[in-house]
Amino acid sequence: MNRQISRLAVFAVTLVIGLVVTTTYWQTWAAPGLADRQDNAIERVAEFTIERGRILAADGTVLARNRTKRVGGKTFYFRRYPQGRTFSHVVGYSTQGRSRAGLERSLNDYLTASNANLTTVLERTLDQIRGTTIQGNDVFLTLSTEGQRVAQNALGTLCGAVAALDPQTGKVLVLASSPSYDPNLIEERFAQAQRAPNAACTQPAAPLLNRAVNGLYTPGSTFKVVTAAAALDQGKFFLSSTFDDPGYCTEYGKRVFNYSDQGTPSGYGRVTLLQAIESSINSVFCNIGIEIGAGAILEYARRFGFYSKPPLELPAEERLASGLYKGGRPWFPEDMNDIDPGRLAFGQERLQVTPLQMAMVAGAIANDGILVRPQLVERVVSPQGRIVTTPATDELGRPISRQAADAITQGMIAAVRGGTSTAAQIVGIEVAGKTGTAEIGRDVNTTSFIAFAPAENPRVAIAVFLEEQDGVGGTTAAPIAKLVMEALLRDAGA
Amino acid sequence: MTRNTELANLLVVGLITGIGFASVYMARQAEISAGSLSYAVLFLGFYLVAHLVARVTVPYADPHLLPMAALLTAIGLTLIYRLNPDDAFRQGLWVVVGVVAFSATLLLLRHDYRGLESYKYLFGIGALALLALPAVPIVGKTVNGARLWVDLGPVQFQPGEFAKLALIVFLAGYLREKREVLAQGRPKDLGPLLVIWGGAMLVLVQTNDLGSALLYFGIFLGMLYVATGRLTYVAGGTALFIGGALALYQVVPRVQERVTAWLDPWSDPDQSGYQIIQSLYSIANGGFWGTGLGRGTFTQTDGSELIPYAKSDFIYSTIAQELGLVGAAALLLLYMLIVVRGFRTALLADDGFSKLLAAGLTFGFAIQTFIILGGIVRLIPLTGITLPFVSYGGSSLVANFVLLAGLLLVSNRANALARAPR
């Protein structure tokens, strides 16, 4: 019988070895894959044992902090957002039930100190071995607390967005979207957070949507800045170039009328390009569009950043590219005959833009034709007070020459001094701006305004977009831009 | 001397237990009282009693089995303590009962356990009766879809754990007597075997206890092989088993569910696949070194349990998480060593009954370990049976103490004979 016993013993030992091998497989080879799975509750719980870094505005105002809770012998760190609705779209949220959004999502690695930097990884590992709580890095944003508050208040119940940045550095100073939501409600009262009963728009109010980077609007006349940039930079037109404005422009044998005098062809007569920018004369831009072609306009738009998602630190899913849209997707036509260059030239056609993109256009004009990368992160600071990273200013390119930028600036200054944009005037400061009014339906407009100030040494470039307005850009969006710019310039001056 | 080795080993185990409890205490001071640390001391005390009884009754028995079993119990107790100190206290009480059963077995059978052979049919019928007990209306109780509990007012127990031992005794006795004829392949001698085995299977299928069915089947085939040396029996039995399994798969939804959950747990992650998925996440989370005792994650942020049956069926998942691959491998090595020592005892024994008994007890121990752990690491479909000496649960612990006593008895006799001048 001993032979059988020995064989049975070998069999039994083999079974146990099988267990060792399989356990080894799960704990080494398969472990990273399992840890990455979305439904891995252990990993998710573990994330809440990390003392997440705070998120702060440029002036140190706390936008996201932790609230500790002890459950079953473990300390968990849950998020509180002291500023409520004011910063919600940028900061986002970090919850168990609804995962993450905004910078809480895209900067998760910094906030949980799992960013792959040798020192932080070492500190984290030591923390793990000691069993002490892992502390994340604090993230300071470029946002101005005051500017953000003013923007959010100015938007009030309106649906729309404000994006403002420092044209020279790309630091985003304001990124406001309305209606907003209270991120503190996401975890437990999601349905309530999703509602915005007072919002003044009939379209789904969608308070969770970050309209500033994830909302698409018809730019209307604010896009004339891009058309003018193309015309001037190519050297085909100058500010002094003259046009005959009959009050409409003829395209394919049909008349496209100027906005203000709908149906009544009372034109401005003989005007220069400067006057056309100042008074936002559609027929002039329509003719420029026909002259230089849709391809040239779109090429310049692309140079300003259209057709790619603005490289902001927010999650890619929360950013949209601007450009012509077809079937819900950005569309760069291969055959330019498919689109109408005249309507494209004054921002109609199927053109869809984000407020941030238009702020970038204003910023590039302000910055002598140089486009810089917009950035929300000022610096990341480790729990020990060491600076983990301070993103530098990046030039994304030079869409237009300095001369062209200067010329457009003159046109935009004229628009604020005595043209369509007088509501944006600030006492003692020269403002350059351009309004936009896009008819969406009968007496329903998407209004917009882009601007920068002070015109001679710009510190702020801004874009304001409003939905479902019965007024025009100059009376609805421009006053909001003025308030925000005033606040930001005050902030910068102080 | 043999028993001094045992004592020394037990003291080492006591030290390890103390360190384990202290680690848990340090990690979870806020939740548990310092007084609960005394469980570790009490625990060592119980094992010292077991040692003293062994010293008197089985002086020549293998000195490694008891300390290794003690270490397994200690690991289980430490993890149960980490999950819930109150449960550890209750498990500690079961250790007392286990030591009593262990001592009683040794004392009763110290002169010659081979007398059991004469009662083999009684054990066979007893095994069936024990198995059928949970199916009896008033006392039987269904837990987690399997009807394997007996509820006698204050005491609840799983008679299946003891049926396993009775079945091994029966098989050892019967096979010792019939091994020659069986080896020659006379089918009619298989009769009583098939009756007992078939009865066991019927009862198990009826009570939905698939893990135990597999266990009994494995024990049966293993012992049949040891007795006859004929692989045809093993092959035939395996074919029979596969046939039966396929038939069961067709008719029993629970079996289908288990197999699906095994092949692709993520096809139904919230229901049938839930347990195995949580178990794998827990194991994977431990990685190589583990999170450390008391530092694993077994609860949601609201305090609800993440791993179901963490202290009983899935205790290995918690060990693997907190002690890592290092700890899990050490635990498995311990099982392997016990198995090796058990089979060594079978080899050293000088009579057929002793050999079959020791081999049966050891193989039963090994295959039970494999069935539950294989299920947890997704090597085979998951069935809920206990992990010997480690899982929370009184019946299992007490039965395994008796099993240990059986091995010590065989070992004592074999070693004593080897020493005695002929």
Angstrom distance (rounded) from CA B336 to CA B341 = 9
Report yes or no: A38 at the B interface, CB cutoff 8 Å: no
Which residue is closest to A96 within chain B, CA to CA?
A: B301
Give the per-residue pLDDT at A263. Answer: 45
Contact B356, B375 (CB under 8 A): no
Give the per-residue pLDDT at B36. Answer: 75
What's the pTM? 0.71
Contacts with A71 from chain B: Cβ below 8 Å: 299, 301-303
**Best residue of A24, A26, A70, A134 to probe chain B, by most B CBs closer than 10 Å:** A26
Record the tokens describing residue B144, joined without a space. 């987690």
The total number of residues written for chain A in this structure: 494
Angstrom distance (rounded) from CA B12 to CA A18 = 29
**Res. B67: pLDDT tops 80:** yes
Angstrom distance (rounded) from CA B75 to CA B216 = 26
Select the residue of B30, B269, B280 nearest A34 (Cβ to Cβ): B280
Class of residue A398 by CB neighbours under 10 A (exposed 0-12, middle 13-18, buried 19+): middle
Angstrom distance (rounded) from CA B178 to CA B98 = 33
Angstrom distance (rounded) from CA A288 to CA A101 = 43
The conformation of residue A135, written as its DSSP 8-state character, comes to: B
Cβ of A5 and B292 within 8 Å? no
Contact A52, A36 (CB under 8 A): no
User: Is A41 in a helix, a strand, or coil?
Assistant: helix
> Which residue in the block uniquely carries the two structure tokens 């004011």?
A86
Cβ of B229 and A72 within 8 Å? no
Task: Provide the CA B172 distance to its chain's centre, in angstroms.
Answer: 19
> What is the average pLDDT across B370-376?
95
Angstrom distance (rounded) from CA B298 to CA B24 = 14
Does residue B268 come out as left (phi exceeding 0), alpha (psi in the -120 to 50 range) or beta?
beta
Angstrom distance (rounded) from CA A3 to CA B105 = 30
What are phi and psi for residue B106, nearest 5 degrees?
-65, -45
The conformation of residue B119, written as its DSSP 8-state character, comes to: G
> What is the average pLDDT across B192-219?
77
Mean pLDDT of all residues belonging to chain B: 87
pLDDT > 70: what percent of chain B? 95
Contact A416, A422 (CB under 8 A): yes
Contacts with B302 from chain A: Cβ below 8 Å: 71
Class of residue B62 by CB neighbours under 10 A (exposed 0-12, middle 13-18, buried 19+): buried
Name the pLDDT band for B166 (thresholds 50, 70, 90): very high
The conformation of residue A432, written as its DSSP 8-state character, comes to: E
Angstrom distance (rounded) from CA A467 to CA A162 = 12
Task: Read off the amino acid at residue A47.
Answer: E
Cβ of A1 and B292 within 8 Å? no
Task: Provide the CA A62 distance to its chain's centre, in angstroms.
Answer: 21
Q: What interface predicted TM-score (ipTM) does this complex get?
A: 0.94
Angstrom distance (rounded) from CA A393 to CA A390 = 10
> Pairing state of beta strands A444-453 and A460-469?
antiparallel
Q: Of B306, B303, B259, B312, which is closest to residue B281 (Cα–Cα)? A: B306
Select the residue of A2, A12, A72 nearest B363 (Cβ to Cβ): A12
Angstrom distance (rounded) from CA A366 to CA B343 = 87
Select the residue of B328, B346, B366 nearest A23 (Cβ to Cβ): B328
**Res. B147: pLDDT tops 90:** no
Cβ of A19 and B379 within 8 Å? yes
The total number of residues written for chain B in this structure: 422
pLDDT > 90: what percent of chain B? 48
Å from B411 to nearest chain A CA?
15
Angstrom distance (rounded) from CA B93 to CA B291 = 29
Contacts with A72 from chain B: Cβ below 8 Å: 31, 299, 303
User: Is A388 in a helix, a strand, or coil?
Assistant: strand
Which residue is closest to B295 within chain A, CA to CA?
A: A131
Contact B294, B303 (CB under 8 A): no
Select the residue of A12, A39, A46 nearest B297 (Cβ to Cβ): A46
Q: Which residue has the higher pLDDT, A266 or B364?
A: B364
Report yes or no: A191 at the B interface, CB cutoff 8 Å: no
B299 strand-pairing partners: B305
What are phi and psi for residue A74, nearest 5 degrees?
-120, 145
* Edge-to-edge strand list for the sheet holding B140-143: B140-143, B146-152, B155-157
> What is the average pLDDT across B374-389?
91
Angstrom distance (rounded) from CA B343 to CA B414 = 13
The conformation of residue A26, written as its DSSP 8-state character, comes to: I
Å from A385 to nearest chain B CA?
28
> What is the average pLDDT across B146-158?
67
Contacts with B269 from chain A: Cβ below 8 Å: 39
Contacts with B297 from chain A: Cβ below 8 Å: 42, 45-46, 49, 74
Give the per-residue pLDDT at B190. Answer: 74
Chain pair A-B, CB pairs under 8 angstroms: 158
> Which residue in the block uniquely carries the two structure tokens 């008679």?
B159
Task: Read off the amino acid at residue A360.
Answer: M
Å from A3 to nearest chain B CA?
8
Select the residue of A16, A34, A45 nearest B366 (Cβ to Cβ): A16
Contacts with B27 from chain A: Cβ below 8 Å: 73, 131
Å from B172 to nearest chain A CA?
13
> What is the average pLDDT across B348-366?
95
Cβ of B288 and A28 within 8 Å? yes
Cβ of A9 and B343 within 8 Å? yes
Select the residue of B301, B325, B356 nearest A96 (Cβ to Cβ): B301
Q: Of B87, B90, B72, which is closest to residue B17 (Cα–Cα)? A: B72
Report yes or no: A116 at the B interface, CB cutoff 8 Å: no
Q: For residue A85, what are the CA distances in angstroms to A80, A132, A157, A164, A193?
A: 12, 34, 12, 18, 10
Å from B109 to nearest chain A CA?
24
Angstrom distance (rounded) from CA A444 to CA A427 = 32
Q: Give the contacts of B40 (CB within 8 A, at least 6 positions apart).
A: B14, B17, B18, B20, B21, B22
> What is the average pLDDT across B340-357?
95
What angle in degrees, to the nearest 10, is found between the helix axes of B352-376 and B210-228? 140
Å from B152 to nearest chain A CA?
34
Q: First vs last Cα of chain B: how many Å apart?
A: 21
Angstrom distance (rounded) from CA A400 to CA B342 = 86
Give the per-residue pLDDT at B383. Answer: 84
Angstrom distance (rounded) from CA A423 to CA A224 = 19
Contacts with B324 from chain A: Cβ below 8 Å: 27
- Alpha-helical runs (H) found in A224-334: 224-233, 273-279, 282-292, 294-303
Cβ of B367 and A12 within 8 Å? yes
Angstrom distance (rounded) from CA A190 to CA A207 = 11
Å from A2 to nearest chain B CA?
6
Select the residue of B31, B297, B377 nearest A19 (Cβ to Cβ): B377
Contact B87, B392 (CB under 8 A): yes
Q: Which of residues 72-111 of A touch B (CB under 8 A)?
A: 72-74, 76, 78, 96
Task: Read off the amino acid at residue B203.
Answer: V
User: Mean pLDDT, 10 residues at a time, over chain A (494 residues)?
Assistant: 93 96 95 85 84 93 92 83 95 87 92 71 67 84 96 95 96 96 91 87 88 95 94 93 83 66 62 91 90 93 95 94 92 88 87 96 96 95 88 92 95 91 91 91 90 94 95 92 95 64
Select the residue of B284, B292, B363 nearest A34 (Cβ to Cβ): B284
> Pairing state of beta strands A138-141 and A55-56?
parallel
Cβ of A28 and B287 within 8 Å? yes
Angstrom distance (rounded) from CA A281 to CA A420 = 10
